[in-house]
Chains A and B, each alone.
Chain A
Amino acid sequence: MNTEPTTLLQGTLDLLILKSLVAGEKHGLGVSRRIQQITGTFVVKPGSLFPALHRMEEECWISSFWGDSENNRRAKYYRLTKAGRKQLEVETTRWGRISWAIAQALEAL
């Protein structure tokens, strides 16, 4: 696994967090590891992760609750809300447009 940290594009962190929660609720570390796993390159540091999680919770895209972890440790879990799923669609379309546009631009060169 390539753990060389790659800088996240502005605005992609939200998309990745939302995407990582689609499969089900996760705690902060779970979100971080899942993003690492599905992207293979991005390491989300807690200093970026937690502010983003809290901000998204205030935006009502995700909700949180305290539960037990796989090792029976208290941990704070996050799950997608209805608004969050909608936001994921919005972000996905937006990202699709951006990446298509960038790809076009690169081909033109």
Chain B
Amino acid sequence: MPLLVKAQSFLRNLFLSRRVEVDIDAEVHSHLEMLVEENIRRGMPPEEAQRTARIELGGIEQVKEQVREKRIGNWLQSVTFDCRYGARQLRKNPGFAAVAILTLALGIGANTAIFSVVYAILLKQLPYAQADQLFNVFEAQPRAGIPAAGWSYDNFAELREQNHIFSDMAGSNQHQLTLTGRGEPAVVHTSVVTAEFFAVFGQKPLLGRVFLPDDGKRGAAPVVILSENLWRSSFGADPKIIGSSINLDKRTFTVVGVVPSTFRFPVLTEGEQLWIPVVQDLLFSSWMPQRGLHWLQVTGRLKPGVSIRQAQAELDAVSTRLAREFPAENGGWTIHIVPLQQDIVGNVRSALLVLMGAVGLVLLIACTNIANLLLTRATSREREIGVRVTLGAGRARIVRQLLSETAVLGLVGGLAGIALAYWGVHALSSLLPPDLPRVNAIRVDNFVLGFALLLSAAASMAFGLAPALFAANSNLQSSLREGGGRSGESRHRRHARSFLAAGEIALAMVLLVAAGLLLRSFAKLMSVSPGFNPQHIVEADISLPRYQYSTPQQWAAFSDNLLARIQSEPGMQDSAVAVPRPIADGCVNMAFDIVGDPASSASTSRTADYVSISPEYFHVMGIPLFSGRIFDRRDALSAPRVTVISRTMARLYFPHQDPLGKQLTFALPPDRGVAREVVGIVGDVRDVALGQDPGPMMYVPYAQAPFWGANVVVRSTLSPSSIAATIRQEVQTMDKDLPVTDVALLPDLIDASVSQPRFRTFLLGLFAAMALVLAATGIFGVISYSVSRRANEIGIRVALGASRGTILRMGLRGTLALTVAGLAVGIPCALAASRLLGHMLFGISASDPAPLAVVTIGLAAVAALAGYIPARRAMRVDPMIALRYE
């Protein structure tokens, strides 16, 4: 019963507030009148009676306010009132509202967009069951500078059998196979895996089954599992696919399962892929018996309760044992374990965190700006606040009112920001580097929305609290007496605003210096010479099915034939074959020994990037010859083996001697044990990425070291599409089942290889520009407000004969103080922050003074301008108008 009545009063207070108000008003008035009557009865004269009664009552409005505060649901009602009042205030000051909301929306929007990327890439669980138990395990050879390599199959099999820490482990590797028999031949991304693979990831099939242990045994029937996307795109989502046969590299496989498209491994792969057991792959199964070959990427699921430290300890014991048992293959090798998530996002993690930090700073500056605007407005609202306090509002009540108002602002700004974030995520997705992992998971979902709302709430607290506290603490008498305070504002508040503006300069400085460093580094990166001339070069990838083209002689014959056909086409004389292609394919690193060199032994391994090329390659690419000769047609399969090395290789492995005539031997096919003579030295090339310094490189004639693919490079002024068409046409006339993939202009490939630095440079630059604009508006606001507050004083000064220069100096002095303080704080902060960028910089160091100097001067100039405009306005103040206005 009482609860019901309470609810009733709550509702009445809320919805019939007008009636409740009239009621209390009548009650207090009748009380007052009765007091007066009482006093008259006691014999007071009427006026005296009135006065005494009013003193006893203590103020009608104050009593009413005290009653209101005690009512049920009072807080809700007052918050509603305050919010409505706040909204009205915003409508009444459209200029202020627009600036504040826009500023906030930019801050919230940028933060939400970047957060959606950070969330998707760094925070969201990987799409595997209990992904936090998954770890990648690497073999490493620290002495040879190999930080993380794959496993040899035998080592993996032993570890899997004998460990006590993993509930299961699986190995995998990737390459491309050609899918034929269904329309156009297609190159399909193929994961070559051990039989436990799907079990380790806890992945269930969509159709059919995953691999069973028997599928991994030698002699098992060839089976394949398709990804859902491939099943849909290439097999029309055929429900009877299980049990049917497909051709991979001209070999027949039976489809046993289809796996949902949400499962991707590695995470970067496109949705279309397939999986086959290692034993069924010609290349990798031939590597299985060799303990010295490190090629299998191993992922394991730790048993529940096993820590990474325990795991590492056991792995250390395993590597010691392996090194003891197989010193030739495992001597010097160690094992280390990395959480799968960390391994996947490792290289973008710090860049993303830096961006998140930068965008956070932008929001901080935006909040500072709004706080400044609010402080300005609070000063002009002093009189209103004074009246409220006089009418009985407590300090808490005033703070609540002002905070409710800023909450309205925060909410509107936050909603606008979220709208901006949707657009921003859309815009970002076209900017994101293609090699960023998990890009497909980036979206504004509920979690990101929650983050945005929380952020706007926090932001409105941040920019609302200080002005609210200032307002509530203001001196009642002075604010009323000053009559709205034309003649100056409280020193505290002016200091607070200058402090905030100086803070903005310091924050903007941090961002600008960081952006300056990245920009300078990016400019260096773009101007670095790759060592070849990429203009007008088109690269195309043709890989040969190894069943049909099984011998090196066939590979060499195919590429000879193809190259001759392409070169005979008009405009395409400058063509060559190269495996791997520069930039597009990365590099193949090969270990070798130098014949007759006593330092040459198993303990110190020498490696170099290894490229197999046709003789025209150096000419086509514009790589200069420094000594000796380049290849020609005489360097055939039957001729003595030769090699051409890069200058860095000559310097590194043949110091103080002439490398020409020296002989190299290799431990691996295709040249195991055969000596190659160095016949020439050519210029260095950045073969992997522009940002990577050229390492030692060696070139061998394609005729002597053919691959099962003929990757073509063509220098031609024809359009890339017509070059691609010509290559396709020539390939198809030779073999209609051969696909030509990855046709691309080399400049585009180089462009793509710098997409990550470009992405972070662009975004950080954008944020820094936002920060600069916000900080400039902040300074402009502070100075122009203080000038307008001092219009009266300036008028008097001018009337008393102050020159315009004096007035201008007066205005500028404020700006100068702010700016110097901001820069003094900003420089050490910027220096500290730029250290975080160290490893992202190319060609310059984090302490590079140029960006700091440029930013300091630039920021000072912008600040001076932002202060000069209002100061000049002050200079033009007409004393008559200024004084009359008062």
Contact = CB atoms under 8 A, between A and B. Distances in A.
A60 B2 contact: yes
B428 interface: no
Interface string A45-62: 111101110110111100
A34 B582 CA distance: 101
A58 B6 contact: yes
A77 to B, nearest CB: 10
Contacts of A52: 70
Interface string A28-52: 1100000000000000011110111
A53 to B, nearest CB: 8
Interface stretch (A14-22, A67-75, A100-108): A67-75
B1 to A, nearest CB: 8
Contacts of B1: 60
A45 B58 contact: yes
Contacts of B28: 46, 50
Contacts of B67: 50-51, 54
Interface string B602-632: 0000000000000000000000000000000
A75 B34 contact: yes
Interface string B55-87: 011100011001101111000000000000000
Given A45-B56, A46-B57, A50-B67, A83 B2 contact: yes
B218 interface: no
B356 to A, nearest CB: 49
A46 B70 contact: no
B343 interface: no
A98 B270 CA distance: 79
B233 to A, nearest CB: 69
Nearest to A63: B5
A71 B70 contact: no
A69 B24 CA distance: 17
B30 A73 contact: yes
A45 B24 CA distance: 16
A38 B199 CA distance: 86
Nearest to B31: A28
Contacts of A45: 56, 58
A85 interface: no
Given A47-B58, A73-B34, A74-B26, A54 B63 contact: no
B38 interface: yes
A30 B69 CA distance: 23
Interface in B3-42: 5-6, 9, 23-24, 26-28, 30-31, 33-35, 37-38
Contacts of A27: 30-31, 34
Interface in B829-857: none
A60 B4 CA distance: 10
Given A45-B58, A50-B27, A69 B34 contact: yes
B63 A46 contact: yes
A86 B873 CA distance: 73
B71 A46 contact: no
A46 B30 contact: no
Interface residues of B, number: 28
B70 A29 contact: no
B38 A29 contact: yes
Contacts, number: 71
A50 B34 contact: no
Contacts of B63: 46-47, 50
Most buried by B among A47, A48, A52, A69: A47
Contacts of A75: 27, 30-31, 34
Nearest to B29: A74
B62 A60 contact: no
A54 B5 contact: no
Nearest to B59: A47
A59 B70 CA distance: 12
Contacts of A28: 27, 31
A27 B31 CA distance: 8
Given A59-B2, A60-B5, A47 B31 contact: no
Nearest to A69: B34
A29 B35 contact: yes
A58 B4 CA distance: 11
A27 B256 CA distance: 90
Contact of B71 (A58, A74, A76): A58
A74 B29 CA distance: 10
B133 to A, nearest CB: 57
Nearest to A45: B58
A57, A75, A83, most chain B CB atoms within 10 A: A75
B377 to A, nearest CB: 32
Nearest to B33: A73
A71 B71 CA distance: 30
A29 B27 CA distance: 10
Contacts of B33: 73
A60 B5 CA distance: 7
A52 B2 CA distance: 17
Contacts of B58: 45-47
B30 A58 contact: no
A29 B56 CA distance: 11
Given A29-B34, A69-B34, A47 B66 contact: yes
Given A28-B31, A51-B67, A75-B34, A46 B2 contact: no
A83 B1 CA distance: 10
A51 B26 contact: no
Given A46-B58, A74-B30, A58 B35 contact: no
B27 A58 contact: no
Contacts of B57: 46
A76 B27 contact: yes
Contacts of B6: 58-60
A48 to B, nearest CB: 8
B448 to A, nearest CB: 43
Given A46-B56, A47-B63, A50-B66, A76 B26 contact: yes
A60 B10 CA distance: 13
Given A27-B34, A54-B70, A60-B2, 16 more contacts: A29-B35, A45-B56, A46-B28, A46-B31, A46-B57, A46-B63, A51-B70, A55-B71, A58-B71, A60-B5, A60-B6, A73-B30, A75-B27, A75-B34, A76-B23, A76-B30
22 contacts: A27-B34, A29-B31, A45-B56, A46-B58, A46-B63, A47-B58, A48-B66, A50-B28, A51-B67, A54-B67, A54-B70, A55-B71, A57-B9, A58-B5, A58-B6, A58-B72, A59-B2, A60-B1, A73-B30, A74-B26, A74-B30, A75-B31
- Across the A-B interface, the 4 shortest Cβ-Cβ residue pairs: A51-B70, A76-B27, A58-B9, A60-B5
